[in-house]
Copies of this chain bind each other. A is one copy, B any other.
Amino acid sequence: MKIYLDCIPCFIRQSLDAARHATDDVTIHEKVVRGVLDLANNLDMSQSPPVIGQKIHRLIRELVGVEDPYHGVKQRFNNAALKLYSQMRHLIIESENPLETAVRLAIAGNIIDFGVKSQLQEEELKETINKCFSDVFSGSQIEDFGNAVNEAENILYLADNAGEIVFDRLLIEQLPIEKITVAVKGSPVINDATMQDAEITGLPKIVEVISNGSDAPGTILESCNQSFRNRFDKADLVIAKGQGNYETLSDVNKNIFFILKAKCPVISRNIGCEVGKMILQKTKAFRGEIKNARI
């Protein structure tokens, strides 16, 4: 998905949020905003939004002089989600359709996104979890997803954010784990999950977890290391969590299922849904809308 003009004011708001998150120094806030204005003015609009996101957050880390401004937020939401883990696992196991329940919860967990939201309280996370069971969501999509998972031999699961990765673990536990490799970001960007977050949630104990080697808030293949790209190429099914992965991979010729909550108007318009909707959607290639897609 390419950058829309509507993304530009949002980039600037996001960068100001992120700068305020990282430091109270208003001179740095202004430097960040001016730097992002400059980046935005030289923008190639054919790129995906995370390409500029990567540049913005590199600039913020450089200007603030902090390697991981969201470290505290990531810890907070890992802990909040881990506290809910047993209860959510119980809900999944006891439910009529455990796969559907796990997918719904995985989408609810995608609310923990500090790219879109500058503030999030644990209370809102709990409300989103409660709401995810009643939101409209097509059962046939779940069946389709279950079939794709069963038919695949090699599944790559692209995690999104810290905290959310606990919800991913719950979904992964409902999948054939022997086929699955989970990928996290190579180094900190916003509150995206890195290897440290995967370890906190205990994921490496049940499944192989690899780093994608990149600091982009999505999956920009050219920005990932060769080892990740080999795994991506080898996978016959990719499960991609969150908006950043949708933005970077929606036009890729690959069998991908996107799992996300559509939180911004631009993505919602691109998907063709209302803001706030729970999304489980295949790539165009997977739907047979791109010629020579690997299906």
Q: Is the interface of A mostly helix, strand, loop or mixed?
A: helix
Closest to A38 in B: B41
Q: Is the CB of A37 within 8 A of B30?
A: no
Complex Cα gap A65–B45 (Å):
24
Closest to A16 in B: B5
Q: List chain B residues, Cβ under 8 A from A9.
A: 9-10, 12-13, 16
Q: List chain B residues, Cβ under 8 A from A26.
A: 5
Q: List chain B residues, Cβ under 8 A from A287.
A: none
Q: List chain B residues, Cβ under 8 A from A40.
A: 37
A34 interfacial by beta-carbon distance below 8 Å = yes
A8 interfacial by beta-carbon distance below 8 Å = yes
8 Å CB contacts to B: which residues of A1-15? 5-6, 8-10, 12-13
Q: List chain B residues, Cβ under 8 A from A5.
A: 16, 26, 29-30, 33
Q: Mark A213-248, 1 if CB is under 8 A from B, else 0.
A: 000000000000000000000000000000000000
Q: Which A residues contact B (CB, under 8 angstroms)? A: 5-6, 8-10, 12-13, 16, 26, 29-30, 33-34, 37-38, 40-41, 45
